[in-house]
Amino acid sequence: MNEIKLIPARRVESEFFDHNSRFIATAGPAFSVNEAQRFFSCIKNKYPDADHHVPAFLIGHGESVIAHCSDDGEPSGTAGRPALAVLQGSGLGDIAVVVTRYFGGTKLGTGGLVRAYSDSVRQVLDIMPQAKKVATTVLMFVVPYTLFERSQLLVNNHCGVTIDQIFGSDVTLTVRIISEYLDSFKRRLIDLANGNIEFIVIEERKNTIMPLRNNHNG
């Protein structure tokens, strides 16, 4: 089985105040440098009057990861690097974060800034639901009502999700299955239906966000 590559399940935001400065951390999935840059632009447009927008991202996992950060006008090494260091220690990949700061009139000093930006990223990661990045296949197939519940159980047992179900003379199901489990799923369903089943491949996707089951942050 391939190593699970953990990523953000969705975009989340948190904020806190330090000596009247407001820090807003926004984090979410990004599968390319271009996606991360669009993410940064979106946050800047959301908070156009902020004093700083400190970005950091990790694209990919392991040895192939692309990392980037910027202090965006804060003293060198006090903002982007601490934010990136927290990301690198999180075990997550394909993640972008922006820490937006509204200056509150009191200078925090070098140590204070490092702590504030580090804490901002830690805080947003604490509330972020995690997912796994996997290759998936979307299948459509038809089953009789007598096999509907058992086919749904097979989907769940293969870490799949049901996208659509249409009830007519039979039940037409559209499901997303992790590609690694696709052959096993099809064999089990064919056995269940005594061979009387056909599959139509609707979509194949390399990068799919599949939320982790029983995620306490979900």
Establish if 1 belongs to a structural domain: no
**3-state DSSP helix/strand/coil percent for the chain, to nearest 5?**
35, 35, 30
**8 CB-near residues (< 8 Å, 6+ apart):** 27, 28, 29, 92, 94, 95, 128, 129, 130, 131, 209
Domain-embedded: residue 71: yes
Q: 202 lies in which domain range?
A: 134-211
Examine the domain organization and report whether 49 and 149 are in the same domain. no
**DSSP conformation class of 197:** -
User: Residues 163, 98: one domain?
Assistant: no
Place 1 in a pLDDT band, splitting at 50, 70 and 90. very low
CA–CA dist 21, 62 (Å, integer): 35
Q: Select from 78, 104, 128 the last residue of a domain.
A: 128
State whether 42 and 90 are in the same domain.
yes
From 128, 158, 188, give the residue that closes a domain: 128
CA distance 70 to 60: 19
Identify whether residues 19 and 69 lie together within a single domain: yes
Which of 128, 156, 177 is the last residue in one of the domains? 128
The 3-state DSSP class for residue 106 equals coil
Contact 51, 101 (CB under 8 A): yes
CATH number of the domain where residue 168 is located: 3.30.70.240
What is the total count of domains within the chain?
2
CB within 8 Å of 152: residues ≥ 6 apart: 162, 173
> Same domain for 86 and 148?
no
| Greatest Cα-to-Cα distance within the chain, rounded to the nearest angstrom | 73
Given a cut of 90, whether residue 196 has pLDDT beyond it is no
Q: Is 75 in the same domain as 147? A: no
What's the pLDDT score for residue 213?
58
Q: 155 or 63, which is more confident?
A: 155
Arithmetic mean of pLDDT, 110-122: 95
pLDDT digits (tens, 9 = 90+) for 98-108: 999 999 888 89
Q: What is the pLDDT of residue 2?
A: 53
- In a domain? residue 87: yes
